[in-house]
Amino acid sequence: MSQSSVSSLPPGKIPVTIITGFLGAGKTTLIRHILDNAQGRRLALIINEFGDLGIDAEILKGCGIETCPEENIVELANGCLCCTVADDFVPAIEALLGRDTKPEHIIIETSGLALPKPLVKAFDWPGLRTRLTVDGVIAVIDGAAVADGRFADDPLKLAEQRAADPSLDHDNPLEEVYEDQLLCADLILLNKIDLMTDAEQAAVTGAITQTIPRAVKILCTQEGRIDPRLLLGLAAAAEDDLAARPSHHDGEEGHDHDDFDSFILTLPALADPTAFIGRLITVAEAFDIIRIKGFAEVAGKPMRLLVQGVGTRFQQRFDRAWRPGEPRGTRLVVIGQKGLDQTAIAAALR
Ligand SMILES: Nc1nc2c(ncn2[C@@H]2O[C@H](COP(=O)(O)OP(=O)(O)OP(=O)(O)O)[C@@H](O)[C@H]2O)c(=O)[nH]1
Ligand 1 pocket, mutate which of 18, 19, 20, 28 (most atoms under 8 A from CB): 28
Strand partners of residue 75: 47
Q: Measured from the CA of 21, which atom of ligand 1 is nearest?
A: 19
Supply the residue whose CA is at minimum distance from atom 5 of ligand 1.
223
Task: Give the pLDDT band of residue 98 (cuts 50, 70, 90).
Answer: confident
ipTM greater than cut 0.90 = yes
β-pairing, 330-337 vs 313-321, is: unpaired
β-pairing, 303-310 vs 291-297, is: antiparallel
Look at residue 5 in the predicted model and tell me its pLDDT: 43
Q: Measured from the CA of 291, which atom of ligand 1 is nearest?
A: 24
State the pTM of this model: 0.91
Using DSSP's 3-state secondary structure scheme, residue 211 falls into helix
pLDDT, averaged across the chain? 87
Mention every residue, 6+ apart, whose C-beta is less than 8 A from residue 215.
none
- Report CA(298)–ligand 1 centroid distance (Å): 22
Q: Which domains does the chain have, with CATH numbers?
A: 13-243 (3.40.50.300), 260-349 (3.30.1220.10)
Q: Measured from the CA of 23, which atom of ligand 1 is nearest?
A: 25
- Which amino acids bring their CB within 6 angstroms of ligand 1? 21, 23-29, 56, 112, 191-192, 194-195, 222-223, 291, 293, 308, 310, 315
Please compute the mean of the pLDDT values over residues 7-18 and round it to a whole number: 76
Contact status, residue 244 vs residue 177, Cβ threshold 8 Å:
no
Cα separation, 294 vs 296, whole angstroms: 7
pLDDT digits (tens, 9 = 90+) for 119-176: 999 999 888 999 999 999 999 999 999 999 888 765 555 566 656 665 555 467 888 8
10 Å Cβ neighbour count for 105?
21
pLDDT digits (tens, 9 = 90+) for 51-81: 667 788 888 876 667 767 788 888 886 666 6
pLDDT digits (tens, 9 = 90+) for 199-221: 999 999 999 999 898 999 999 99
